[in-house]
A = this chain, B = another copy of it.
């Protein structure tokens, strides 16, 4: 009933990243043939572009934030782990009905079936009779904690998206200087310059194919998660205050992205807890 969507793939992100690679490979093959693919893989160029930009990110961040930033990429592949807001509101209205009919203590049982730690913690606080202000403070502290962690990860990817092209240009300048110092053999000019340009290409891909979209997607996910968490907190406090389930529903819907409002509380969504 209270399903978590943490392992549902974000097909837009996955599809976008994969299709981006396909586009680049298609571009290479269409202009240079399949044999040209090898021309676009140059390990030292990859090391200087990715490695260099990562070293700048490292110098910009505290070590734990750097590691958390790198790990954060996995989050972009998955839907936010808290289900969609419509379902969350449905759950809360169900619980409001239960609480109304059977008392707050009856929620304890529901809590055990919930996988989302945040909602579980909230229900337990409510069932334990914790003071409303303290429930809010504890849950909002938890939200702040999550959002601050997200923001640092997003900032990491923004910085990498900025540093990728910068180190791509550094790599190209290194290659150009080397090439210009050795112009005697004219036949090597072209290939050497090609290699020099690879770091600029890698840097541009890093920024526009990987790091930029990752930062954007993590930002979208954070907004969704925070909005659901806010709904959850307000809902739990309303249940604790013994408000009418219908009033709770109206109240919670105002927190949602408007387009998501219509689905809540309709029979198909199974809001009928009574």
A194 and B196 CA atoms in complex are apart in Å by: 13
A57 and B189 CA atoms in complex are apart in Å by: 37
Check: A59 CB closer than 8 A to any chain B CB: yes
Can you list, as one digit per residue, whether each of A161-176 has a CB less than 8 Å from chain B (1) or not (0)?
A: 0010011011101111
Q: Verify B180–A59 contact, CB threshold 8 A.
A: no
Smallest distance from the beta carbon of A134 to chain B beta carbons, Å?
A: 9
| A173 / chain B contacts, CB cutoff of 8 Å | 197, 200-201, 204
**In which size bucket is the chain A interface?**
35 or more
Smallest distance from the beta carbon of A188 to chain B beta carbons, Å?
A: 10
A interface residue numbers (CB < 8 A to B)? 10-13, 15-17, 19-20, 23-24, 26-28, 30-32, 36, 39-40, 44, 47-48, 51-52, 55-63, 66, 137, 141-142, 144-146, 148-149, 159, 163, 166-167, 169-171, 173-184, 187, 189-201, 204-205, 207-209, 212-214, 216-217, 220, 253-254, 257-259, 261
